[in-house]
Structure 1
């Protein structure tokens, strides 16, 4: 799956590592409502294409998963600032 890396020289490998690190940092630094989104930009850093078909949970299961995710943030980052901003697609 990663045979393409074997063909790269040192400079190209460094450039690839920097590109991947930039993508990981952008995902890591997501905040607020951006934490909850589908992230094809991150997955697009891989050389293989993203499968177009994804399984999407039904609403009740999805909302329970969102609650669990948010609860995990309370445990993992209890010191993180809380925001009152509502989601606005146009922002």
Structure 2
């Protein structure tokens, strides 16, 4: 799956690592409402070009997962600042 790496020069590998690190940082630094989004741009950095459709839970299960995720943030980062900023498209 990662055979392309063996064909890359040292410089190409360094550029690839820098590109991937930047994408990971952008994802890591998501905050507020951006935490909840589908991130195909991140997956698009992989060499295999597929666009799989995600399996989307029905609304009640989806919202249950959102609540669980939000509760896990309370447990994992209780010191994180809170916001009551409304969602805007």
Q: Do both proteins adopt the same fold according to a TM-score greater than 0.5, normalized to the shorter chain?
A: yes
Does 2:5 correspond to 1:5? yes
Q: 1:41 offset after TM fit, Å?
A: 1.0
After superposition, the CA RMSD in angstroms is 0.8
Q: How do 1:1-91 and structure 2 match up within 5 A?
A: 1-89=1-89
Runs of at least 4 residues off by over 6 Å: none
In the alignment, is the contact (CA less than 8 A) between 1:43 and 1:50 conserved in 2? no
In 2: Cα distance, 1:78 partner to 1:50 partner:
37
In 1: Cα distance, 2:50 partner to 2:82 partner:
33
TM-score, scaled to structure 1: 0.94
Gaps of 5+ in 2: none
Q: 1:17 offset after TM fit, Å?
A: 0.2
In 2: Cα distance, 1:36 partner to 1:53 partner:
17
TM-score, scaled to structure 2: 0.96
SS in 2 for 1:86: coil
In 1: Cα distance, 2:41 partner to 2:52 partner:
14
Count of residue pairs brought into register by the alignment: 89
In 2: Cα distance, 1:77 partner to 1:53 partner:
31
Gaps of 5+ in 1: none
In the alignment, is the contact (CA less than 8 A) between 1:33 and 1:87 conserved in 2? yes
In 1: Cα distance, 2:55 partner to 2:80 partner:
31
